[in-house]
Chains A and B, each alone.
Chain A
């Protein structure tokens, strides 16, 4: 049987994976709705996907808060889940997200020369890239055979 830190680590990975799926679905639907000028039916479908995505993302956030709360009773597990190696991986994920945001911003500036981008759309694409890369980056660096 797996130890408690192992189970908590797996649970955290599952919650983060669920969160990124919900967030990506919601954001992709919103962006597609804005850029494609869809028919009424497709527009409704994209709104439904967006709402389901946000709902799923919200459930994962609630699960994360619940997990955080339950770990207050297990300080040793909490320490193991946030040890110096995990903190280093978190830092690398944030650094990767910073570069992703820079690249997306540069791409938007260049694209804006040929396709008009409104500020709301630019902000949404940048936010999506930043959040997606920080979560996917952490999951990538935190995999079983991840490099330091």
Chain B
């Protein structure tokens, strides 16, 4: 059976802008732990936070987040 997982490119986009997790957290006014858990796929952000992250990183939400299929 297949299940859909949310993947993200936050780490990649951060690297492009040479931003640390802390700096990105400051830009979107969340804690560094929150950025870390989103990057690791442990926490799925709200639509509002996803939009704030995409604005802070200068990419679209679709570039930042997407669904990937994996076997359950």
Contacts and interface: CB of A to CB of B under 8 A. Distances in A.
A83 B46 CA distance: 11
Interface in B1-60: 22, 25-26, 29-34, 37-38, 42-46, 49
Contacts of B34: 83-86
Interface of A: 3, 5-6, 9, 76, 79-81, 83-86, 88, 142, 144, 146-148
11 contacts: A3-B22, A6-B31, A9-B31, A80-B31, A85-B34, A85-B37, A88-B43, A146-B42, A147-B37, A148-B42, A148-B44
Contacts of A76: 26, 29
B22 A83 contact: no
B49 A84 contact: yes
B30 A85 contact: yes
Contacts, number: 53
B30 A83 contact: yes
Closest 5 CB pairs of A and B: A148-B43, A83-B30, A85-B34, A79-B29, A148-B42
Contact of B31 (A83, A88, A147, A148): A83
Contacts of A5: 25-26, 31-32
